[in-house]
Structures are given as structure tokens and as C-alpha cells.
Amino acid sequence: MPSVKRRASRILREYGEAQSELIGKTIVLTDGKAGTVENVWLDELHGLRISIKGHDGRWPVSTIKLVEN
């Protein structure tokens, strides 16, 4: 498999794992918003972003402060 396809496959695999790990988990963001992760997106400008049930908007995963165990 050419290196470009291999890298793309790796990115998609990591994205799927991030979805599995985050969707349905209760989190707290650095700005104090808290709730359950509803969805995960791969944004070409900002990287991985999440939405939280009950809050409008999408936040970068880098703003997650705590994740339920």
C-alpha cells in the first residue's frame, strides 16, 4: 500500500478509536461546561472537535479537562 494510503488509513483508524472512546462519556471542559459527548468530528482547520449534549457548539478535544472513567 502506498505511504499516502497507509497514512490516511492510520488517521481514519485513530479517528474511529477517538469516537469510540469519547461518545457517550461525561466530560468537563476547561471553561466549566460539562455533559455527555454527543458526536466527534474531524475538522481540517481545528483537528478533532466534539459536541456536548445540551450545549450548542463544537469544541476542540484539547479543551477537555476531565473524562469519566
Please state, in angstroms and rounded to a whole number, the distance separating the CA atoms of residues 68 and 57.
21
Q: How far is CA 69 from the centre of its chain?
A: 16
Q: CB of 29 within 8 A of CB of 37? A: no
Q: CB of 50 within 8 A of CB of 8? A: no
Please give the pLDDT value at position 38: 96
Q: What is the CATH number of the domain that holds 14?
A: 2.30.30
Number of domains observed in the structure of the chain = 1
Enclosing domain of residue 40: 3-67
Per-residue pLDDT tens for 7-60? 999 989 999 999 999 999 999 999 999 999 999 998 888 789 999 999 999 999
Please give the pLDDT value at position 58: 93
